[in-house]
Amino acid sequence: MTFQPNRSAALTRLDEFLPCAGRHYANSRNYDDSVPTDGMRQNVSQLSPWLHAGLISEVEVVEAVLDQHSPDASDKFIAEVFWRVYFKGYLEQRPTIWRAFCDQRDAAMAQMASNSGLQRAYGEATEGRTGIAAFDHWARELAETGYLHNHARMWFASIWIFTLKLDWTLGADFFLRHLIDGDAASNTLSWRWVGGLHTKGKTYLARADNIARYTANQNGGPLSVAGLAEDAPALHEDTEHERQALELPPAPPPIAFDAPYALLLHDEAASHVPLNLPKAPSLIIGAARPDARSSEPVGDLALDFAHGSVESGAAEAAQAFGCDAKRWGEAGDLAGLLKDAGIDRILVPYLPVGWTRDALMADLAPLIEGGNAAVLLDDLRRTTWPHAKAGFFGVKKKIESVLGEIGVAA
Ligand SMILES: Cc1cc2nc3c(=O)[nH]c(=O)nc-3n(C[C@H](O)[C@H](O)[C@H](O)COP(=O)(O)OP(=O)(O)OC[C@H]3O[C@@H](n4cnc5c(N)ncnc54)[C@H](O)[C@@H]3O)c2cc1C
């Protein structure tokens, strides 16, 4: 497997990619080349699975890049990392988008169950049998590798919506079930962006000439597409997703780190290292919930990476702090785990809007409300999210000041 679910693999990949993170990245990032035999590309970092799992943090990546490249040379790469932080902050302020996505997807699945024409079209699209060669190639690549290049994701989503005319939520669900880096914010909002729901009315149309140009380095030559839609009318939705005020948790008081406390590691915070804990916990609790990505089966690569990340992160934390690591497997088990260890306080790395929060919050809420759980939010998110109110530009123009504020030196 190309993506190993542990922190040391993330650091190795970061080291390997660093020399390419400057102008080389800016000039070549749009090319969807053939996957090299070792599975790693040279023109993009492929760090997204480890970033999503919290095995490495955005700040560690940005600091390492700025150590080797000038801010000018690396500004494209750093801006892309901030897209990730922006999308997460945007969804925090419009959580109804996630709920609406889940509801529409479930309704579309139910509708498909009684419509054999839709079943056929969906099967052809997800199994790579549409006859649109490039699209079929990406469908198979996604299922086989758990990763797609950003440009391929854009083309795929556009063809799904505007050429195949399938419900966008079914495509976003297909991505979530197979992408190792599947992320509620980046995935849902990118699909909405392609369909004209994020930047209202502005859609992304996949074009044959653009695909041929940026897939020119594929082993068999440029990927071909025939019969693509020639226009991309924006999708509509009845709901207006009003922005809600950000309610960020206060930084935990020093007592939150006094032993004995348990540290929760989860799908989006699988390593203790980026958390920079001032004092050691007495127990590590690992909870991975990749099955909660969808009501449909999740791909093995995505499942294995999520479970493996939390397992490796919990084992490393237990060794670093000289304490036990327990697995929180089933809903309802948390109280028992804490009771058995004689611990009543838990530290929870922030759970952003998405399936992990949906799956874990019922058990955590009473502890948070009762003052027995402290929530840890990193400075990058705390500082960037207030700017993620509308378009990415609001964040982009603040990148330098955010980095200065959180002490990342150029
Ligand atoms: C339809 C669609 C669905 C997507 N779904 C996901 C998803 O589920 N999870 C996910 O992490 N990304 C998603 N993306 C964003 C982007 O495609 C991936 O983050 C990127 O391809 C990951 O590869 P990389 O690590 O080599 O990126 P690089 O180009 O090396 O970029 C470095 C890092 O910046 C961030 N980044 C780069 N581009 C974007 C972007 N457009 N949006 C948000 N963050 C970005 C990622 O964390 C990435 O690891 C989606 C994009 C589209 C168009």
The counts of H helices and E strands in the chain are: 18, 5
Torsion sign across C-alpha atoms 321, 326, 328, 332: negative
Q: For the segment 220-246, what is each residue's pLDDT rounded down to a tens digit?
A: 999 999 999 999 999 999 999 999 999
Q: Which residues of the chain have pLDDT under 70?
A: 1, 39
How many whole angstroms separate alpha carbon 202 and alpha carbon 194? 8
Q: Report all structural domains of the chain as residue ranges with CATH numbers, in order of start.
A: 7-93+385-405 (1.25.40), 100-214 (1.10.579.10), 254-377 (3.40.50.620)
Q: Do the strands 324-327 and 283-287 form a parallel or antiparallel pair, or are they unpaired?
A: parallel
**Does residue 158 line the site of ligand 1, with CB under 6 A?**
no
pLDDT at res. 138? 98
Candidate of 65, 145, 181, 198 to mutate for ligand 1, largest count of ligand atoms within 8 Å of Cβ: 181
pLDDT at res. 39? 64
How deeply is 322 buried, as exposed, middle or buried, from its count of CB atoms within 10 A (0-12, 13-18, 19+)?
exposed
Q: List the Cα angle 274/278/280 in 5-degree steps.
A: 90
Torsion of CA 383, 76, 206, 138, to 10 degrees: -90
* Average pLDDT along the chain: 96
Candidate of 190, 294, 381, 395 to mutate for ligand 1, largest count of ligand atoms within 8 Å of Cβ: 190
3-class DSSP string for 147-169 = CCCHHHHHHHHHHHHHHCCCCHH
Question: Where is 144: in which H helix or E strand?
Answer: helix 133-145
Q: Which residues contact 227 (CB under 8 A, 6 or more apart)?
A: 132, 163
pLDDT at res. 1? 45
Q: For the segment 13-42, what is each residue's pLDDT rounded down to a tens digit?
A: 999 999 999 999 999 999 999 887 776 898
Half-sphere exposure (Cβ direction) of 269: Cα atoms closer than 13 Å:
22
**Does residue 270 line the site of ligand 1, with CB under 6 A?**
no
**Does residue 150 line the site of ligand 1, with CB under 6 A?**
yes
| Residue among 130, 163, 136, 158 nearest 229 (CA) | 163
